[in-house]
Structure 1
Amino acid sequence: MPLSRLSVANQWRVFALAWVVLGAVAVAVAGSIARLDAEAATQRQAATAAILHGAVLKSELERQQAVPAVLAMDPELLALVTAPSAERRDRLNPKLEQLAGEVRAAALYVLDADGTALAASNWREPTSFVGSNYRFRPYYGEAMRDGDAAFFALGTVSGRPGLYLARRIDDADGAPAGVIVAKVEFDALEETRRSSGEPTYVTDRDGVVLITTTPEWRFRTTRPLSETRRRQLAEQQTIGEPLQDMPFAAQEPDLIRIRRPEGTRLYAHEIDTSMGLGWTLHLLWPADQMMSRAVGAARILALLTVALLAGLSGILLRRRQRARNRAAEEEAARSELERQVALRTAELSAANQRLNHEMEERQNLERNRQMLEEELVQANKLATVGQIAAGVAHEINQPLAAIRTQADTAGIYAERGDASAVRRCLDAIAGLTERVGTITDELRAFSRKTRSEVVAVDVEDAIDGALLLVSARLKERGIRLDRSGLTPGLKVKAERNRLEQVVLNLLQNAVEALAGVPSPAIALSSRRQGRKVVVRLTDNGPGLTDEVRERLFTPFVTSKASGLGLGLVISRDIVAGFGGDLTHEPGASGTVFQIVLKAAS
């Protein structure tokens, strides 16, 4: 029956029922679509985070795997395992202790062919490995058989979990003579990831959790294993009791529900297998709150939309009912009202389109501004690198020439059979190589286009990094550098690389200003002032003219013939980004620049 033939009461009943059904369907459909969209967004975030975390872990593993591989070729280790003696042991123990600290290994120790520890980095401690036999450990047998091994377990003495990386030591005839073992603990890495709020864990080929941000998950299994295999793995990893399953309440292809003390939580699950060793990194990205918020917002929006449409429909229905009982003039008035509503809706739509267009233009302008600022900072970096390139090349050429000389000398000593002299030459080459590496690393880090978070930065470290790049120019021009005013241990909230760029810009300006000045000198000082740290750079040059001083931080204003006038502007913007300020301080002579930054604990 057509709606117009029903009574007024029945018309409103049908109308209400129809909109209730439509509202329920709209809420259900909107919730489903929002859930799918939120799930896809969560998976993308989880996949990106898993790749980043996997890359960090892979880098750490590759660095640690190189340690036993290099030590296996050490002549002192080979001499100890082939002909053990107290003298060789006492000489190797401190060496392993120092090396363990440098490579951040929990322990380094040498086993003979029978699995007995001959020397260890923890030889000073009551829990020293020296004299203990580790033949029962799987990594010993695998290394002796295959050449190398990797095994994750609890320490039999320390009770701390870690990865044991073993490498076989072969004698001159290629026969197995012993094993060098490096234990790596991941406490620092786990603590760093734990603060992110994203549960992360690493499993081996059997699905046993080895590394995790949730300590109670360690040595649990992520897939079914037989009781025999569970007990076998527990014995190998010195756990003592059969492995337990992970607290998964339910598991979908890309989502996992986990029982936590605060209740069951839903997570997006992503994996990364790039780190090798048969390991798999699992990252859980919190999904329940994000999905519930998205679903709730979509349902509310759908409900409001249906309510709005229902209200408009009710108005139309009410008008239709009134129109049948009114005269022709009321019909004309209703038509005029509908026309006005349509006109106003069109005006609002046009205004909304104009507003959206203006918002897009504003966002594009802001993005262009940020990109221009980044490009200016990078251009300033590259210009500075170009200015200091000759000095850096000179700083590198000197160690390289010395390396060549030491290498030639080592060859002569080798022909004479003077091993100790050859060793001294090689130590000298190692030191010179480290200096070249330090200079090139600093230059590469400075020129790289990066932007990191604001953290606690040591003022002297930032100054040292800048001086490493500009020291050659200071020496070339005979400029005396006075650092006596620097207060040790001061830290500020900044980005290390960008703070170095500011200091380097100021040093470059000071070097240019001191051209032709007799007895040129630059003084650096730092002090704590309340919650601020003040860093001052002073030179004894001719100072700035009044015209330049008035427009010092204006773009393209410079006193140098070949300068662009952007260095100080960029430097002040960088310091302002840290919440600080860069100013020029008036003085009787010379030029004084002052950097004020927030102090960091």
Structure 2
Amino acid sequence: MDVGSQEGRAALASAPGRAGRQVAHGPWLAFAASVVILLVGGVWLAGHVARERALAQVEARGRAAAALDVAVLRSELEKQRSLPAVLAADPDVIAALDTAEAAKIIALNPKLEHLSAGTRAAVIYLLDRHGMTVAASNWREPTSFVGNDYSFRPYFRRAMETGTGEHFALGTVSGRPGLYISRRVEGAGGALGVIVVKVEFDAVEEDWRRLGEPVYVTDRRNIVLVTSVPEWRFLTLTPIAPDAPAEIRASLQFGGAPLSRLPPRPAALAGREDAVEAVLPGARAPAGYLDLALPVPSTPWTLHLLGSTEPAVRGAMAAAQLGTALLVILAAGAAGIMLYRRQRAAATAAAALVARAELERQVAARTVELSAANERLVHEMEERRRAETELQTLQDELVQANKLALLGQIAAGVAHEINQPVATIRTYADNAALFLARGEAAPARDNLATIAGLTERIGRITDELRAFSRKATGRVGAASVAEAIDGALLLVGSRLRQQGVTLTREAMPAGLAVVAERVRLEQVLVNLLQNALDALVGRPDPRIGVAVEAGHESVHISVRDNGPGIASEVMAALFTPFRTTKPSGLGLGLVISHDIVAEFGGELVGRSEPGGGAVFTISLKRST
């Protein structure tokens, strides 16, 4: 390390001490005042936002619960409304009122009793045109309605006038509240009477009680009819007109209920008109609620649900205010640290300049070294790229050389294959000339047809030789397995016949193709066939088998011979360059074949058969 660097470090080490002595008190007083203002304002704002959110959640939950309660109440009403309509058209009911026969009227009592039990109606009873009960489902009970006069009831008068009526009232006999649903019974001569179904809401109220939050239903005069708090029944939300109680008591609708005000009273809650405060039965102190009201369809009623606000609001505000206070304190601590560091940073700026200059000098020197190393790396990469290109060129030339070497091995056989047809062509041509000279056209045509077939055979051989000798394009695609095998067998066919080798070729699926290049695949097959022929020299009954096994994703091409097989020491280095068992061989044929198959994405393996002989298998991907 040079002297400049040591001086920079010394300056940095001594700067903090001086900075600590230079801290000013003015900024800290302003900082403390800002923290206090931010803490008070943040806590208040967080409490306000949390309260509004909690109230919104209470309202959303309450309205969802109220909608469900309305649906349950409406379902119960609609189910019971269908019963009077059905009974008003019942032949037994019409006949009993029309004839006034005692037997028919008495027979209705068990029927109504059975219907009441099955539909869960509180009571079903039949009134004649004068309002007298002639039959009832509670005919067996001491509180039976049979014989009672209900002509004063509004539901009777309304049904006789308009056909239907509904009236919520306290039972004059049972003393139990319920909704009376009435329907006029029509006969041939007009109105015969009224069928009435009383619906009690004990089960509905019990379900509401289990939910925990107070629920009650009011009529158009704001009188509570159905409620989960029994003490609130027949109380009112608003004062009733002075003459109304007398009229109500005259109809015996609510018995002797005082019709006093409900406990919930409006509460002061900013921005909320539905806020109320109430003391529930059994509670010691009033609690806050949201009075969430929904109309009950098909009725003049309104359902009210009191959603409790205090636990949710109190918890939300406490959590929000505590979180905000912690956040402000943490932010103030972070800001204080930043302020302290800022004052220290101002004091250490000079020392930092010295250290920065030294660092820049070192970075510049290191940059020069890295640039030189980068240039060397680029040069090495170029050299490696050139070496790889030369290696690929050498590999291609080696493959071509191997191909030409194979052509040299099969040249004599191919020459024989061509010389024999050429001699035969000469003979047939001479004979055709003699036949033409004699005027014998038919034999001459036969000879010329034979000559054409022989030239075709020569053409196939020479075409295959030209294709085989041509350099491969290197493009891998779909290659026909049958065409590759046919070409390889055509090239080694002469040698097969010269050695007297029996060739067995198994059938394969039509149109089978693999991912390869046809010329190079044919070269691999010629290599394997030539090796098999070399292994069969001097062997009795020589045989070579070519088989193709096609799978769903791969194809396996096997070349099998019944020669001496592969020795174990040769098997260990089967695909090693320059390892061969032939006196004049270079030991490159199998290596090149192995590399070609590997370029196709396949595999070439060899093995000895237990009974003698060797088998080489080419595995390639099947082309779709």
Task: Encode CA deviations 1:219-277: one digit per residue, 9 max, x unaligned.
Answer: 12223421322443355323314311221231543433322224322333333324312
Unaligned runs of 5+ in 1: 1-5, 334-601
Q: Equivalent residue for 2:273?
A: 253
Task: Encode CA deviations 1:187-224: one digit per residue, 9 max, x unaligned.
Answer: 01110121011221111111211111111111122234
TM-fit CA distance, 1:105 = 0.4
* Equivalent position amino acid for 1:74 in 2: D
Q: Which runs of structure 1 show a deviation greater than 6 angstroms over 4 or more consecutive aligned residues? A: 323-327, 330-333
- 1:294/1:231 Cα in 2 relative to 1: closer, same or farther (>3 Å)? farther
Q: Equivalent residue for 1:110?
A: 126
Aligned residues of 2:291 and 2:305 also touching (Cα < 8 A): yes
Q: Distance in 1 between matches of 2:249 and 2:24?
A: 78
Give yes or no for the alignment of 1:26 onto 2:48. no
Which 10-residue stretch deviates more, 116-125 or 276-285?
276-285
TM-fit CA distance, 1:323 = 6.2
What percent identity do the matched residue pairs reach? 45
Q: Which has the larger radius of gyration?
A: 2
Q: Distance in 1 between matches of 2:260 and 2:304?
A: 18
Q: Equivalent residue for 1:306?
A: 328
Q: Distance in 2 between matches of 1:9 and 1:225?
A: 71
> What does 1:377-456 correspond to in 2, within 5 Å?
none
Match of 1:294 among 316, 319, 335: 316
Task: Encode CA deviations 1:556-579: one digit per residue, 9 max, x unaligned.
Answer: xxxxxxxxxxxxxxxxxxxxxxxx
Q: Distance in 1 between matches of 2:164 and 2:48?
A: 52
TM-fit CA distance, 1:36 = 1.8
TM-fit CA distance, 1:167 = 1.1
* Matched residue SS, 1:131: coil
Q: Equivalent residue for 1:269?
A: 291
Q: Distance in 1 between matches of 2:229 and 2:350?
A: 77
Give yes or no for the alignment of 1:182 onto 2:197. yes
- 1:7/1:239 Cα in 2 relative to 1: closer, same or farther (>3 Å)? farther
> What does 1:467-486 correspond to in 2, within 5 Å?
none
Q: Equivalent residue for 2:235?
A: 220
* Equivalent position amino acid for 1:168 in 2: R
TM-fit CA distance, 1:10 = 5.7
Aligned residues of 1:234 and 1:243 also touching (Cα < 8 A): no
Give yes or no for the alignment of 1:42 onto 2:58. yes
Aligned residues of 2:127 and 2:195 also touching (Cα < 8 A): yes
TM-fit CA distance, 1:78 = 2.1
Q: Distance in 1 between matches of 2:169 and 2:340?
A: 77
Aligned residues of 2:234 and 2:254 also touching (Cα < 8 A): no
Unaligned runs of 5+ in 2: 1-21, 356-624
Aligned residues of 2:131 and 2:193 also touching (Cα < 8 A): yes
> What does 1:517-528 correspond to in 2, within 5 Å?
none
- 1:62/1:327 Cα in 2 relative to 1: closer, same or farther (>3 Å)? closer
> What does 1:57-72 correspond to in 2, within 5 Å?
57-72=73-88
* Equivalent position amino acid for 2:277 in 1: R
Which 10-residue stretch deviates more, 191-200 or 226-235?
226-235
Q: Distance in 1 between matches of 2:151 and 2:41?
A: 69
Q: Equivalent residue for 1:172?
A: 188
Q: Equivalent residue for 2:111?
A: 95
Q: Distance in 1 between matches of 2:290 and 2:247?
A: 32
Give yes or no for the alignment of 1:232 onto 2:247. yes
- 1:227/1:190 Cα in 2 relative to 1: closer, same or farther (>3 Å)? same
Q: Distance in 1 between matches of 2:52 and 2:353?
A: 47
Task: Encode CA deviations 1:84-111: one digit per residue, 9 max, x unaligned.
Answer: 3432232111111001001100001111
Q: Equivalent residue for 1:281?
A: 303
Q: Distance in 2 between matches of 1:46 and 1:266?
A: 14
Q: Distance in 1 between matches of 2:349 and 2:83?
A: 97
Aligned residues of 1:31 and 1:295 also touching (Cα < 8 A): yes
Give yes or no for the alignment of 1:148 onto 2:164. yes
Q: Distance in 1 between matches of 2:31 and 2:352?
A: 24
Give yes or no for the alignment of 1:122 onto 2:142. no
Q: Distance in 1 between matches of 2:254 and 2:304?
A: 24
Aligned residues of 2:128 and 2:193 also touching (Cα < 8 A): yes
- 1:138/1:331 Cα in 2 relative to 1: closer, same or farther (>3 Å)? farther
Q: Distance in 1 between matches of 2:227 and 2:235?
A: 10
Q: Distance in 2 between matches of 1:234 and 1:47?
A: 34
Q: Distance in 2 between matches of 1:134 and 1:331?
A: 106
* Equivalent position amino acid for 1:144 in 2: M
* Equivalent position amino acid for 2:288 in 1: L
Task: Encode CA deviations 1:510-533: one digit per residue, 9 max, x unaligned.
Answer: xxxxxxxxxxxxxxxxxxxxxxxx
* Equivalent position amino acid for 2:177 in 1: P
Task: Encode CA deviations 1:466-491: one digit per residue, 9 max, x unaligned.
Answer: xxxxxxxxxxxxxxxxxxxxxxxxxx
* Matched residue SS, 1:266: strand
Q: Equivalent residue for 2:458?
A: none
TM-fit CA distance, 1:281 = 1.8
Question: Which one has more relative contact order, counting CA pairs under 8 Å at least 6 apart?
Answer: 2
Q: Distance in 2 between matches of 1:234 and 1:317?
A: 79
Task: Encode CA deviations 1:507-556: one digit per residue, 9 max, x unaligned.
Answer: xxxxxxxxxxxxxxxxxxxxxxxxxxxxxxxxxxxxxxxxxxxxxxxxxx
- 1:231/1:16 Cα in 2 relative to 1: closer, same or farther (>3 Å)? farther
Q: Equivalent residue for 1:522?
A: none
Q: Distance in 1 between matches of 2:327 and 2:353?
A: 28
* Matched residue SS, 1:245: coil
Q: Distance in 2 between matches of 1:311 and 1:332?
A: 31
Q: Distance in 2 between matches of 1:307 and 1:332?
A: 37
Q: Equivalent residue for 2:155?
A: 139
* Equivalent position amino acid for 2:292 in 1: E
Q: Distance in 1 between matches of 2:139 and 2:118?
A: 17
- 1:23/1:55 Cα in 2 relative to 1: closer, same or farther (>3 Å)? same
Give yes or no for the alignment of 1:157 onto 2:173. yes
Task: Encode CA deviations 1:36-83: one digit per residue, 9 max, x unaligned.
Answer: 222222222222222222122111111101111111112222233233
Q: Equivalent residue for 2:578?
A: none
Q: Distance in 1 between matches of 2:297 and 2:77?
A: 7
Q: TM-score, normalised by structure 1?
A: 0.51
Aligned Cα root-mean-square deviation (Å):
2.6
- 1:85/1:332 Cα in 2 relative to 1: closer, same or farther (>3 Å)? farther
Aligned residues of 1:116 and 1:134 also touching (Cα < 8 A): yes
TM-fit CA distance, 1:322 = 5.8
Q: Distance in 2 between matches of 1:153 and 1:331?
A: 94
TM-fit CA distance, 1:20 = 1.2
Aligned residues of 1:202 and 1:211 also touching (Cα < 8 A): yes
Give yes or no for the alignment of 1:193 onto 2:208. yes
Aligned residues of 1:152 and 1:162 also touching (Cα < 8 A): yes
* Equivalent position amino acid for 1:131 in 2: G
* Matched residue SS, 1:210: strand
Q: Distance in 1 between matches of 2:75 and 2:132?
A: 31
Q: Equivalent residue for 2:584?
A: none
> What does 1:538-577 correspond to in 2, within 5 Å?
none
Q: Distance in 2 between matches of 1:227 and 1:83?
A: 47
TM-fit CA distance, 1:327 = 9.2
Task: Encode CA deviations 1:422-444: one digit per residue, 9 max, x unaligned.
Answer: xxxxxxxxxxxxxxxxxxxxxxx
Q: Equivalent residue for 1:56?
A: 72
